[in-house]
Chain A
């Protein structure tokens, strides 16, 4: 008979060996989940540590920028901390009719408030520097919020020993870290006023605007009227090279409703988030209002286009989230020529001579003039 390779048999009646052999099984049977929770807790806490470093760094960037560029009279630390915690309460959506107006109102008040706080801090009048400070502050408060939210769920899971909260946190942690990383990258571009990937729309339209007279049409937004093959072109973009997105919705509304210009087609150029696997800088065409953000501008443009029965054409430049908010990549910058060609082709194909064509370059125009 072969001797048994495993099991307690070969140890005879030695209960100690018996116990040692079964102990791990019992341990895992009864405490498996706790052990797992312990390991997940460790992993999440390491990630939280990374987020904390990012948060401290971004806070420091805000203060450094203010001190070095806006030269405040007093130490801005306390006020920066206050601004990082600044919150916005969105309007109630129980009765959604007319909610866009309310959202617009709240967001406008918020933006004005932040801008005035920065102005109060530093009486520097350079608009580019003020808008850069706004951008840096916005990225830093996003990082701050991400950190606080993750910390909340981490502590909640830990205190209640709830493995399910921790598992969920662990699952989305890589994506959260990437997003925070993207925001830290954005800070880098913001403080040097370098164009970001999202600025490709304004870059295309800005080129068409060169050497033409600019008209202020809405807050931080300019318009140029020019000609192309017997058509009148109305070009709209945010005022650069500061980090503005402008108010394209109001600009379009004002041009059509108040100024009474009869527009025959609208072409919108914007950066679009790509799907994993799509190439950065790929150009795609479509229809509809190509504009992101909270939805106020999109609503206004869709509204006026529907009322006047104006076709909306969209040209988008694909990029990932990190590319959209970091310094513009070469592939994206080089797509500008291709987009311009598409826009002119659209004008030739989709409009008639003597038509009025509206072209909107959507996005943050940081580092892109006109």
Chain B
């Protein structure tokens, strides 16, 4: 029964997609809006604090309400 009717889930409202960048040296995290061409584990840029290399560690969607 459970396999026949899985949880389809609630209808999603408007979502904003964020990209989380992390500095590999000092662990500084930055959250910004997703831009086309981003993907998880993409290397790029330098850290403002320690000039270490930056890696995208997460891309996720959050409901619009949470940010307001």
Asked if B7 and A276 sit within 8 Å, CB to CB, the answer is yes
A280–B9 alpha-carbon span in the complex (Å): 10
Asked if A322 and B41 sit within 8 Å, CB to CB, the answer is no
Asked if B60 and A328 sit within 8 Å, CB to CB, the answer is yes
Residues on B close to A: CB < 8 A? Answer: 2, 5-12, 15, 17, 34, 36, 38-42, 55, 57-62
Asked if B40 and A178 sit within 8 Å, CB to CB, the answer is no
Chain A nearest CB from B19 CB (Å) reads: 9
Chain A nearest CB from B21 CB (Å) reads: 14
Asked if B59 and A328 sit within 8 Å, CB to CB, the answer is yes
Asked if B40 and A241 sit within 8 Å, CB to CB, the answer is yes
A280–B8 alpha-carbon span in the complex (Å): 12
Q: Given that A193-B39, A368-B40 are known contacts, is A327 also in contact with B9, CB under 8 Å in the complex? A: no
Residues on A close to B: CB < 8 A? Answer: 175, 178-179, 181-182, 185, 192-195, 199, 203, 206-207, 210, 240-241, 273-276, 278, 280, 319-323, 326-330, 332-334, 336, 367-370
Residue of B nearest to A323 (CB): B9
Q: B36: which A residues are within 8 A, CB to CB?
A: 192-193
Asked if A203 and B40 sit within 8 Å, CB to CB, the answer is yes
Chain B nearest CB from A97 CB (Å) reads: 25
Asked if A194 and B42 sit within 8 Å, CB to CB, the answer is no
Asked if B62 and A330 sit within 8 Å, CB to CB, the answer is yes
Q: A336: which B residues are within 8 A, CB to CB?
A: 58
Asked if A330 and B60 sit within 8 Å, CB to CB, the answer is yes
Chain B nearest CB from A192 CB (Å) reads: 6
Residue of A nearest to B39 (CB): A241
Asked if B10 and A175 sit within 8 Å, CB to CB, the answer is no
Residue picked from B8, B10, B42, B62, most chain A C-beta under 10 Å: B8
